[in-house]
Amino acid sequence: MNARPLVPFPSRSAALLAATLAFATSAVAATATVGQKAPDFALPDGKDTPRKLSDFAGKYVVLEWTNPDCPFVRKHYNSGNMPALQGEAAGKEVVWLAINSTNPQSSEYKTPPVMQAWLDSKQAKPKAVLFDRDGAAGHAYGAKTTPHMYVIDPKGTLVYMGAIDDKRSTNPDDVKTAKNYVRAALDEAMAGKPVSIASTVSYGCSIKY
């Protein structure tokens, strides 16, 4: 009788490497990409009511990752730039969702009442503020900074992702001369034109996942 050749079991390190590569591939596949369907999510708002991205199918949607403790975020709120942009969007029936992915264990975490009070103090006008406490939505979108901005068209396609504008500073005066990528993306998309600058590198504070 011929003996069967021995087939070695994969080493622990090889198995770990394979698992890591599989996870990395999965994570990349889940990350939002311009020109593709935006990942759906269900996140609680300030009243703990789940809000799904798919609930707003057929509308333009802006996603804004935010954190009141970030000086880059404060630049756009204290100058009135972000509230004004939110108001413009609302006037065009664009759904604006502010998302806070700060981990509840972080010193920068804001409870829903505190977060809402801060937004109210800035006359902010998002459709809702959502809490991504486990960071799943932020990771799915590859959100790295506050602010980090995304524009989604009525078909659910991501048409812009990146910085709010081209002035990478905390100086509120820079808002006056900045090219606002979010406004430009909405204007072009709503006019039926391709978004000329569809992806930029975001700037701001790192998200405290």
CATH superfamily of 33-206: Glutaredoxin (3.40.30.10)
User: What's the 3-state SS for the chain?
Assistant: CCCCCCCCCCCHHHHHHHHHHHHHHHHHHHCCCCCCECCCCEEEECCCCEEEHHHHCCCCEEEEECCCCCHHHHHHHHCCHHHHHHHHHHHCCCEEEEEECCCCCCCCCCCHHHHHHHHHHCCCCCCEEEECCCCHHHHHHCCCEECEEEEECCCCEEEEEECCECCCCCCHHHHHHCCEHHHHHHHHHHCCCCCCCCECCCCCEECCC
Q: Dihedrals φ, ψ of 145, to 5°?
A: -135, 165
| Res 148: pLDDT | 98
Q: How far apart, in whole angstroms, are the C-alpha atoms of residue 122 and residue 83?
A: 7
| Res 31: pLDDT | 81
| Res 183: pLDDT | 98
| Res 26: pLDDT | 30
Which residues on adjacent β-strands are paired with residue 128?
97
| Res 12: pLDDT | 39
Tokens matching residue 194: 């391709």
pLDDT digits (tens, 9 = 90+) for 6-50: 334 344 333 333 333 233 323 333 589 999 999 999 999 999 999
| CA nearest neighbour of 154 among 22, 39, 61 | 61
Domain boundaries, the chain: 33-206
| Res 21: pLDDT | 29
State which residues of the chain have pLDDT below 70: 1-30
